[in-house]
Structure 1
Amino acid sequence: MSDDVPVTATVEISLREAEVLGLVGAHLSNAEIAAKLHISVRTVESHVSSLLRKLNVPDRRALAQRAPEPTGGGSAQAAPVLPAPLTSFVGRVSEQATLSALVKSHREVTAIGPGGVGKTRLALAVGAQLAADYADGVWFVDLVPVDEPELVAAAVAGTLGLGEQPGRDITQSVIATLTDRQVLLILDNCEQVADGVALFVERLLATCPRVTVLATSRARLMVPLERVYSVPPMSLGVDGAADAVLLFEERAAAGGSALNTSDRDQIVSICERLEGMSLAIELAAARYQTLGLDGITAALSHPLRMLTGGSRADERHRSVRAALDWSHALLEPDDRALLRQVSVFAAPFTAAAAAQVIGLDEFLVADGLARLAEQSLLVVTASPVGTAYRALETIRQYATERLAEAGELVDVRSRHLRWCLAQAAELAVARPDWRAGFDAVADDLRSALAWAAHEPGQRTNAYRLAEQLAELTFTRTLISESQQRYEQAAALAEDPGSAATAFRDAAAVAGCRMRGDDAYRLRSAAADAALRAEDPASAARDLATIAITAYRFANMFTRKLPTEETDALLAQARELAGEDPAAQATIAVADAGRALHAAVTTVQGYPGTTVAAPVALAERAVELTRRRGDPLEESVALDVLTGALSWAGETFAAAETTQRRVVVLSSVPATPSASHELVEALAEAAEGSIGTGDLVAACRWAKQLADHPLLAEVGHRATSWLLVADALAGSFDEVLSSSVRFLDTWRTDVPIGSLGPAVAAVAMVHGLRGDQDARAEWQKVLDQLGTLPEVTYGYGAVFDTMLLLHNDQVSEAMERISPEPQEVWKWVTWIWHHWYVALRAEAAVLAGRADAPDLVAEARGIVAGNPIATTMVDRAAALLDGNHEALLTTAEAFGAAGCHYQAARTKLLAEGRLRRTDQ
């Protein structure tokens, strides 16, 4: 530290921002950057805006000039994102060399030592020295603000610029990003969350073979592969070149007055008194201008009290706490009060924020903060809202204990809590820069909540803050923390009704995370709380909702719920519901879901009218929920109705129902429940439009899905139906661009069967383009799903047949799609039925089969109303009749329907240019 602390600190950018910056420097467009990084164009625009602000440049051209030079491979190399020390690094040559060698030869190194010995500065120096050895950068994570072990991964994710990915916890999201990265991760100040760090590091090292961890802590982490390095105090002695002496001279000279050579002995004496502790030396040197060496020596001659008094103080902390005691004693009373009161801030804070918490005039507070910064007790940092301050953790802990000694802790903490509640309420009002605002105060919100949760008198405020933090973290896509905060709010609620509401919200977030077992547990807890609140109707809705979730999202559960269990839940729900209309509506939805589940799982042949009862029950459930004016429950009922209609073969009615569902949800605020419903509704709307041949609408719904914030980090789920729609439309460049993002996430996650159509679509596109190597690679991806009937008889047959017909391999195409639709109805119903029968008719015509006229006539009746499938059948009929003019007419019809590939194929057929490869 020094007296001349700069007003601005280094600009820190995230891993993703560094990648975007490098690609801007390579003059790529936002669309090209999105394709290269597997993110949406909207996300790229957000990163570019952030970089313009952080780097304070006016336009994209100036931003490109700030990009790092490309590496030999031609791609941008992200510069290490390390905090720039406010003062120079002095000495430590031997220590730096030793620690660097350890980091090079071990996967995990922990630099240990007491507070103030210089662990952080040494780690930063080593990180800067080794930056060239790590292709994906050196990343520094300050864990000081983290006071809960389970939030360690969130802190790392924040540094890397990551959000949580639905279906994974935040640790899994970090691991997925770093799986194939060559990174040095510096975890600083691990001691207060050592257990959390140990668990995180152990998982990280086990799954990310190219990641190295350098941790600083006051004690070892006790993790596998750990190599411990004890950071010694700075070297002492009469030698003027001793590191401690050099540090004192450099910091004292920074104040504007150089020391004389004749002062060396006195400096050595001071450094010995301070036991070579770098923080203590810097604090002492910062006072050189005002006290001189004699004054410093005199101050150190007074008996030094332990910070907590007597023998309870750890011996290894003695010199640092003594130096802080001494430095604190030299402050004016008002400045002492200010230092201890601002210790409640966990993150950098402004003078305005401090004034609100302390209750003083902002000008007086700003003046006092400046004096504390001059005494090196606060560090000045850059902030989007102006000058901000922070205390080094050792000083903050010291000041907090002083706050308690003064009897002010509860009062100041309470005012800080009220300030946090106000900040959270302000953030809840949507505004363009709210994310940056949340990131700036998030650590303070967490810190205030951690304190208030254990203060009986603050239970109501703690509940409010937990709820607010749950909402904010969900919107910030920190969804595992959101679930945790909702559960915390439920535990803090003073009445069971509020607890039930919080449990329901937590269950909804669990649904967004694809954690069915958590959703079950939390909904059950909500039901129990509702019963304690003497609200049996709400408890009935909770129990029925568990059954509905089991029917709708069976794949979310690690344990498949047996029918007997869901039946028991519904039976209990009926007993509790009474005549309550809301409970009766929810039970009606559950009854429809149960009936559909039973019909689909028990029927052996084509379902025909066997799903008529589920359709009727679902229609009744839709009507009941619509009357109640509950759009979320109406969406659930519409989803069940969509399923019933699709199994009944009512392709157009099912597609129309999916669009009704999106409309119902369009005006609902983005709560966890609404977000989960909307993601599912958009996916089904895209599916339904594909099934009815409305590719323009399918692409529209799929693009909305791909841009949904909840799926920002889940490329395969986000882009799945967009890939299918674009492939069928013939938008092959878009397919190749989006497929990069899809594959990136697929490779770091468990393969999901419902995403198989996208993989098959991309494989087909590569085949249509004649890239057999790329097609084979995507076929290997599809093979990861195993032998699924959907691949053999459903979408796999559709995409394979399109490719075979493209290559004029009509015999193979006919064989691939030979089963009658009624034989494979389970795998072609709704989405693929029309495509299947139309392609089958065309293959029969091209193969010259005797039954081709019958297949064309049959197909025409099935696909009526589907513009693309109807045109495919018309094309088959034109080929059968040898009607060249009618064939050209179908080309125009394909173009009007947005099916560019089929339009081009038709023209080739008309010109007789397709080759026969099966002869």
Structure 2
Amino acid sequence: MPERGRGSVGTGLVEQRHNLPGQLSRFVDRDRELTGLRRLVLEQRLLTLVGTGGVGKTRLALRLAEAVRRQFPSGVWLVDLSLLQEPEMVARTIAQTLGIVEQGQADALDQLVAELGSQRVLVILDNCKNLVDAVAPLGERLLRSCPHLTLIATSRERLGVGGELVWRVEPMEVPASERRYDAEELAGIGAVELFLDRARRSSPEFTVDSENVQLVSELVRRLEGLPLGIELAAAWCGVLSPADLSDRLSNRFRILTSRDRTMPSRHRSLRAAIDSSYDFLRPEERFLFRRLGMFVGGWNLESMEAVCGLQPGEGFEPLARLVDRSLAAMQPSTAVPTRYRMLGSLREYAVEKLSEAGELDSARSAFCAYFLHLAETAQLHIYEPAGARWLSVLDAERDNWRSALEFAVVEDPGAAIRLAAALTPYWDFRGFYAEGRFRLSICVAAVAEPSRPLAQSLRGLGLMAWAQGDHPYATRQVRRALAVANRLGDAAAAALALQQLAQIRFAAGDLTTARARLDRAIELARNAASQDALGLCLFRLGLIEMAEGRWQEAEELLRESIRLGRAADDSERVAVGSTYLGRVYLETNRLEQADATLRESMRLWRPHGSPRQIARILESMAAVAAERGENVHAAWLAGATLGLLERAGVKVAPPIDRDMDSRVERALSAPGTSRPFAAGRLADIGAAMRYAMGEEEKQAPTAETAKPPSPFGAGLTKRQLAVARLVAQGLTNREIASRLYISDRTAEGHVEQVRNKLGFSSRAQVAAWAAQHLPPL
């Protein structure tokens, strides 16, 4: 109870008093939020702090109240509503907290209004989540009747009162997944600072050093910036090492429980914090919340309606209520359509509830069906001029379709092989050859019945292996595709398989076999009236003519391939054909035409951003520059070519590339070309395209930073070297975990540490580096 004294109003409200509790632990971070809130609480009369359970609303409100206490001479009061169940008791609870003595049968709200009067008072209504319908009208009456009263409410949803200002309390800053940190940098991040402070309460010697810095970074990142989760995890540091704690986070609801006997019941476990929100949802909101747990990578309204079985517009109101109650969040982005997400802890809880409700199988089926439809639709349009938009769609949904594929390959292999076949162009465009090879190999192993998607997937598997330079494996898979096509009687599919076998032999320098296969493929394509297969075959035949020095024949075949591509609205066929037509112009000393054609090819390819194809254009442009004597320019473009191919893990080099290489090598032997070559090698695909088109003349990276890291200079441990080798083999985190007898989460942490130490941003870069620098086991 607050200290009693002579009241400022009536007989109850005490002078210059407060009941703010003393804090037993240090308040960490939130300085930026406090700066903004301190100003707002003096300007606004109703400030509501909303956020998910465990995000730190109460602690922030108390810190704010302490900071402005002197501005409220009649008192600052904390009213704890967390244990209150009866709405009619809200006014009485506030009055009792403020020390207002009840007067007979008087209405508690009327008495509150009379006692508060014109006093300048700040009242914190903490934990309104279960009593919003009662608190809202009460708060409005008090604010209208007491002109100098200020209210701070903490809740998981807005009160919905006129004049209310809502401040959404976000999770704390966590380490970025793509960044490497030293111990000092890491300790300066809010969530890490809180983790270290609380960890030292149970283990005073706990510290971050060079040995555990990346592990602690990953551990805190997985706690998602929720102060409750961070504090619950940190309390185990006297019992578990960071590595063991990280392993046990795979079941976060079991490990994230309080060891503090005085902790409020709602904060004694992460599950309890979420329970208290879920239990107060309406049935339709619970249904939607459970289904949204399927989305590993977030969702938009269309995907939500499809997966949740809702009519257009039907789910918007329940979704809005979930957002209001901090159980879902809108992703901050200018992207259209709007995307939403759930914290990982909420999503895992939702999936548990799906299972308990007996809805998990149906939800998974709907989830897989939607992303299969999305991928197959994208495949139909991905080669068109607007195909870049579909690549962006698949980028945004990457975690979702990966999840769908992993489920389908076990439960519905037929759907899995269709999904993998549909995703093959995406993996090729994005240069994700290691992932594509790994996922396609699993899917084709899961099916036995011949089908068109199986033939497509086998060709895709051959493409991934070919790009990685594994010609024997690529040949075996494409031969399997040809056998499936023949068994189905699908002449067009057989023609596509034969031209791909020709592509493999061409890359190996066997032009005779490549030509024979193309002759047969062209015959099949004409018989099947497949303009797509025919255009591809003519293109490959044009490359053979180039390799044999028959430039006129090559030009005619490439032009016909481009014509067929334009008729089919196939940007890829037009762009690739133009790349090699530009090379024909170069070889026949038509430099201006070569330059113009290569720029047109870049313009066509630019929205799609395929590393392999962009690299071929850059290589050709480098040769044109070398032929003109522009050695520095040629060196930069040559470096960019090498960098893109390395990061994508592409090792194939067709015979016709050798003439390009010889020109570039002459340029690189000139003085002053080593630095631009090194700088180009560091450029990402966007910077490389801008430079090639004359939009960017200088690069920030220097030659000194261009040297690829060695396994020793990178400081990889033996375990991390083993993980890097497995990444290079195309294994997922789950497969790595199985191979090394560690948990999935530990494997994920190791991959993250390898990427950070090497300074890479993708698994493909790790795979390319490992294949180049690490000897096989």
**Structure 2 length-normalised TM:** 0.48
**Structure 1 length-normalised TM:** 0.42
